[in-house]
Amino acid sequence: MVPCVRRGSRVGGSRSAPCARYRVACMTPIARFDQWADDQLETLRGNPTADVLFSTASHLGDFSVIWHIIGVARGLTSERRANQAIVLSAVLGAESLIVNQGIKRLFRRTRPTETGDDRYEVRRPSTSSFPSGHASSAFVAATLLTAWGGRRTAPLWFGVASIVAVSRAYVRIHHASDVIGGAVVGLGLGAIARRIARAVLA
């Protein structure tokens, strides 16, 4: 069995050795899944459309900017939606505190790379890798926006949330399992926030 070696960073799209197939035998199931997911995403990296889509989504997910923008845009259409925008921003603030200052401190997982894939410009996070805060905030927001917009809007909001979440693994600042964990946390917090929001906005 080949000794376990921490996955190295990519430079110009190449791995810093040893090759992934020689490390699979010594990986945990989660590590094997993360490696498999990264290999699948690597088939997309370098595609101009995919690069622009996921790089942009990753940037817009910083500090939940995309969700605040959506909240404000909706809020301009009616007083009810303006109140929803305030609640959404408050919930995202609470979510960030819970995830970044709470859950992440329990795991302190190392990120797949320190600054992301060299091919993409990303903000260097100071927190642990697990769970993904981008994924968590995305699914919290999608849950609330769907509750307010109705089930017919679910494909839109959860579609956007999924793109933002996957973007973090795409630019290699998160493991795929971080993204899944963040989505699960986001759905849980979103369910709680939905009940609170219903009472606040009643």
pLDDT 10s digits, 93-137: 999 999 999 999 999 899 998 767 888 888 888 889 999 999 999
Q: What domains are there in the chain, each with its CATH number?
A: 47-201 (1.20.144.10)
How far is the C-alpha of 105 from the C-alpha of 6, rounded, in Å? 22
- Within 13 Å, how many C-alpha atoms sit on residue 105's CB side? 7
How far is the C-alpha of 130 from the C-alpha of 128, rounded, in Å? 6
Of 163, 141, 164, 165, residue with least CA distance to 153: 141
pLDDT of residue 124: 82
pLDDT digits (tens), the chain, 202 positions: 333 434 444 434 444 444 445 455 568 999 999 999 999 999 999 999 999 999 999 999 999 999 999 999 999 999 999 999 999 999 999 999 999 999 999 998 999 987 678 888 888 888 899 999 999 999 999 999 999 999 999 999 999 999 999 999 999 999 999 999 999 999 999 999 999 999 999 8
pTM for this model (two decimals): 0.86
pLDDT of residue 8: 43
pLDDT 10s digits, 153-165: 999 999 999 999 9
